[in-house]
Amino acid sequence: AQKITQTQPGMFVQEKEAVTLDCTYDTSDQSYGLFWYKQPSSGEMIFLIYQGSYDEQNATEGRYSLNFQKARKSANLVISASQLGDSAMYFCAMREGYRAKYGNKLVFGAGTILRVKS
């Protein structure tokens, strides 16, 4: 089974509007972490936001927020007030379990390409 599922291969959003990128995950561990990374066309991987499985509040970082619904095993990324520079590939990733169990590795989803229209 896929550990991380991103069902939207591509998304369009109008500039200045909000957009939600979906991510569902599969784990039997109680302790895990969820991440979102941005990969622009230039190729680098940029860390955006992190949510721990025990965090009660949804994570926020500037225009990025993570809509964490533990019971549904979803960790959607919400980008508010989209900008042209937000056009990129977005990856959801999970770190399962404690560090000693899996060595802190990240398992990535297939990614969602976001295009912001002017």
Partner 1 sequence: DTAVSQTPKYLVTQMGNDKSIKCEQNLGHDTMYWYKQDSKKFLKIMFSYNNKELIINETVPNRFSPKSPDKAHLNLHINSLELGDSAVYFCASSQELHNEQFFGPGTRLTVL
Longest Cα separation, the chain: 46
Nearest to 112 by CA among 26, 3, 13: 13
> Please, which of residues 58-97 interact with partner 1 by CB under 8 A?
89, 91, 93, 95
Q: Considering only the stretches 22-30, 32-40, 63-71, 79-87, report the one whose residues sit in contact with partner 1 under the rule CB under 8 A.
A: 32-40
Q: Is 117 in the site for partner 1 (CB under 8 A)?
A: no
CB of 13 to partner 1, least distance (A): 20
Nearest to 27 by CA among 57, 53, 8: 53
The token pair at 5 is: 């599922």
Among 44, 72, 85, 118, binds partner 1 (CB under 8 A): 44
